[in-house]
Structure 1
Amino acid sequence: MDDKVHDSPTGWVAKHIRQYVESDGAKGHFYYGRPALLLTTVGRKSGLRRRTPLIYGRDGDAYVVVASNGGAADHPLWYANLEAEPQVGVQVGAETFTAVARTATAEEKPALWEQMVGIHGEYADYQRKTSRDIPVVILTRV
């Protein structure tokens, strides 16, 4: 398997990731005042390791992210990747670790969704823009 990590080709996203990695999270861990982590998934079709920055919250020792895709009709590709392969890489600040990703249950989601909307209010707007139920994902360290 190719050990190279492939970052988003979108300019501002690639720049955010590059600054985060090069500074061990000193630049980019807080992105416009919101905490951000780097999530690395394995492409379900390509097998390539793909990295994306995401706003996060905490639930005890776990990290929580939202598969909003800006309110688009489809889930983000990273979400489809972790559904196929739930073992993921995570970087929070300078710390990197392996985690297992899972979608929050119907019972867990309301409280986690409220927390994440409190961190990034735009999530509520994104949900209003789409008919799909936006998933909340829990990342548990292995």
Structure 2
Amino acid sequence: MSDESAAAIRQERRDWVARHLGAYLRSGGAQGHVEDISDIGGNRFTTHCLLRVKGRKSGKTQIVPLIYGDVGGEVVIVASKGGADEHPDWYLNIQASDHVDIQVATQAFRASWREPEGEERHRIWDFMTRVYPPYLNYQKATTRHIPVIMLAPGESIDVFTEEDLQSS
């Protein structure tokens, strides 16, 4: 693949993510929760949540749509960054926080987080690779151990809005 082709694909994905986030926020979660991402190796009915964190350096609010799974009532997300050698910013921001905010469809929560280890992590990683099979290739593409994060929803909060992005 040429550098130009790869750049075009990355731009198309960024555009799709921006449209997806906008639709999720504008609809209050009625749109964007379940998306067909079979064109990129995912499933036709892939669930997405929104994660809201404050930048550890900038202090700005960041909202990102992420594929998620549900394991025992905890929301599971994967810090894959497409197999890049560095962690996504949102993951580094989570590490700097005691809690995060998540939205699943039309419900939002303040959540505590943790990273499973050992056998639990292995079991959850296997589950998430069934939710989104490209995670396997992402792990092969990097020497970085891709983090798995479990979020335990707590107190209900207002759903996210586009204004949240301007409020920082």
What residue identity is the alignment partner of 1:103?
Answer: E
What residue identity is the alignment partner of 1:87?
Answer: H
Report the identity percentage. Answer: 41
Q: Which moved more, 1:65-74 or 1:12-21?
A: 12-21
Task: Choose between structure 1 and 2: higher strand proportion.
Answer: 1
Could you tell me which of 13, 19, 25 is aligned with 2:17?
13
What residue identity is the alignment partner of 2:15?
Answer: G
Cα drift, residue 24 of structure 1: 2.3
CA distance in 2, matches of 1:105, 1:86: 19
Task: Kindly report the root-mean-square deviation, in angstroms, between the aligned alpha carbons of the 2 structures.
Answer: 1.1
Written as runs of structure 1 = structure 2, the 5 A alignment for 1:107-126 is: 107-126=119-138
Cα drift, residue 106 of structure 1: 2.4
CA distance in 2, matches of 1:109, 1:138: 10
Aligned residues: 133
CA distance in 1, matches of 2:116, 2:28: 29
CA distance in 2, matches of 1:129, 1:48: 30
- Is the 1:57–1:64 contact (alpha carbons within 8 Å) kept by the matching residues of 2? yes
CA distance in 2, matches of 1:36, 1:86: 22
Q: Deviations over 1:29-66 (max 9, x none)?
A: 01212000000011110111100000000111110000
CA distance in 2, matches of 1:86, 1:38: 18
Written as runs of structure 1 = structure 2, the 5 A alignment for 1:1-142 is: 10-32=14-36, 33-142=45-154
CA distance in 2, matches of 1:44, 1:29: 27
Q: Deviations over 1:82-127 (max 9, x none)?
A: 0011311111000011101222222321110011000100000100
Name the SS of the counterpart of 2:137 in structure 1: helix
What residue identity is the alignment partner of 1:63?
Answer: V
- Is the 1:41–1:89 contact (alpha carbons within 8 Å) kept by the matching residues of 2? yes
Counterpart position of 2:157 = none
What residue identity is the alignment partner of 2:138?
Answer: Y
Task: Choose between structure 1 and 2: higher helix proportion.
Answer: 2
Gaps (5+ residues) in structure 2? 1-13, 37-44, 155-168
Name the SS of the counterpart of 1:52 in structure 2: strand
TM-score, normalised with respect to structure 2: 0.76
- Is the 1:86–1:102 contact (alpha carbons within 8 Å) kept by the matching residues of 2? no
TM-score, normalised with respect to structure 1: 0.89
Gaps (5+ residues) in structure 1? 1-9
- Is the 1:57–1:119 contact (alpha carbons within 8 Å) kept by the matching residues of 2? yes
Name the SS of the counterpart of 1:27 in structure 2: coil
Name the SS of the counterpart of 1:47 in structure 2: coil
What residue identity is the alignment partner of 2:62?
Answer: R
